[in-house]
C-alpha cells in the first residue's frame, strides 16, 4: 500500500493526464461517435503517465528502495488498474444520460450500454496483455509496446463492430437502450469482466518469459 501511495503521488499526480482523460467519457453523449475510442484515450493516458515516470527516472528511484522488483511491478499494475476502474465508473453516469435520449441512434457504432462496457473491458484487457509484458522486458521501452497494443486495439474494435452487424444477438440486443435488452446484455458485461480479469492477470505476472527478464536485470 505504501508503494501504491508513492505511485499516486510521484507518478500520477505531478501530471495527472489519465485523470484528465476520464472527462472524455463525455464522448458517449455524442449521438454519432465510435464510443470504443473513449477507452483508447484511457490507454493513451496510461502510456503518457508511464512515459513521465520513465523520463523522471522512477525505475532507478524504485531500485534504491527496500522492495523487490515484483513489488515494483505490482504497485504499477495496481495504479493502472485503478485508472481503468475509474474510467469505467466515470463513464456510467454519462451512459445513463445518453440513454435518456436513446431514440437518437448511434449510426457509426454500438450504443453506450451494458454490452458496450463489457466489450470495452475486453479491449482494455487486450491492451494490458500486450503492452505490459512487452514493456517489462526491460521496464524502459514504451513506444513499440504502445504501437503494437494500439494496433491490436484498433483490430479489436473492427472485429467487434463487424460482429455487431453479423450476429443477430449483438445487433438486436446489444445495440439497444431498451430496459429488457439491457438485462439481456448482462452476460456480455460479466463475460467482458471475466475476460479482462484473465488477460490482465496473465499480463501482470512475471512468469511470462518476456517479463521474467526484469527479475534478472541489473538496475
pLDDT tens readout for residues 71-119: 888 899 999 999 999 999 999 999 999 988 877 888 888 999 999 999 9
Asked whether 136 and 212 are in contact (CB, 8 A), the reply is: no
Please report the sign of the dihedral spanned by the C-alpha atoms of residue 133, residue 139, residue 145, residue 150. positive
* Closest-CA residue to 158 (of 114, 115, 112, 119): 119
Residue 124 has pLDDT above 80, yes or no: yes
Could you tell me the pTM of the whole model?
0.89
Whole domain around residue 42: which residue ranges? Answer: 2-216
Return the residue matching grid coordinates 511491478: 73
CB burial string 45-79: b at 16+ within 10 A, e below: bbbbbbebbeeeebbeebeeeeeebeebbbbbbbb
Which DSSP category does 106 fall into?
-
218 confidence band (pLDDT: 50, 70, 90): low
Q: How many domains does the chain have?
A: 1
Long-range contacts of 170-179 (CB under 8 A, 24+ apart): 170/115, 173/115, 174/110, 174/113, 174/115, 174/116, 175/110, 175/111, 175/115, 176/111, 176/113, 177/99, 177/102, 177/111, 177/113
Residue 212 has pLDDT above 60, yes or no: no
Residue 38: other Cβ atoms inside 10 A: 24
Instruction: Provide the pLDDT for residue 209.
Output: 55
Give the pLDDT mean for 124-142: 91
Instruction: Provide the pLDDT for residue 210.
Output: 52
Amino acid at each position: 500500500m505504501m508503494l501504491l501511495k508513492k505511485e499516486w503521488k510521484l507518478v500520477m499526480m505531478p501530471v495527472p493526464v489519465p485523470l484528465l482523460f476520464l472527462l472524455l467519457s463525455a464522448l458517449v453523449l455524442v449521438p454519432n461517435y465510435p464510443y470504443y475510442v473513449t477507452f483508447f484515450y484511457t490507454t493513451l493516458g496510461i502510456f503518457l503517465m508511464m512515459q513521465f515516470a520513465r523520463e523522471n527516472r522512477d525505475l532507478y528511484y524504485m531500485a534504491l528502495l527496500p522492495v523487490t522488483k515484483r513489488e515494483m511491478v505490482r504497485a504499477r499494475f495496481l495504479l493502472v488498474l485503478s485508472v481503468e476502474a475509474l474510467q469505467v465508473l466515470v463513464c456510467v453516469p454519462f451512459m445513463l444520460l445518453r440513454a435518456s435520449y436513446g431514440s437518437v441512434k448511434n449510426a457509426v457504432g454500438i450504443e453506450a450500454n451494458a454490452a458496450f462496457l463489457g466489450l470495452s473491458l475486453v479491449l482494455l484487457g487486450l491492451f494490458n496483455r500486450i503492452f505490459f509484458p512487452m514493456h517489462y522486458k526491460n521496464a524502459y521501452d514504451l513506444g513499440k509496446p504502445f504501437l503494437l497494443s494500439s494496433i491490436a486495439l484498433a483490430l479489436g474494435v473492427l472485429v467487434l463492430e463487424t460482429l455487431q452487424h453479423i450476429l443477430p444477438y449483438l445487433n438486436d440486443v446489444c445495440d439497444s437502450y431498451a430496459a429488457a435488452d439491457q438485462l439481456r446484455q448482462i452476460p456480455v458485461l460479466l463475460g467482458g469482466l471475466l475476460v479482462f480479469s484473465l488477460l490482465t492477470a496473465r499480463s501482470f505476472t512475471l512468469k511470462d518469459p518476456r517479463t521474467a527478464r526484469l527479475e534478472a536485470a541489473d538496475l
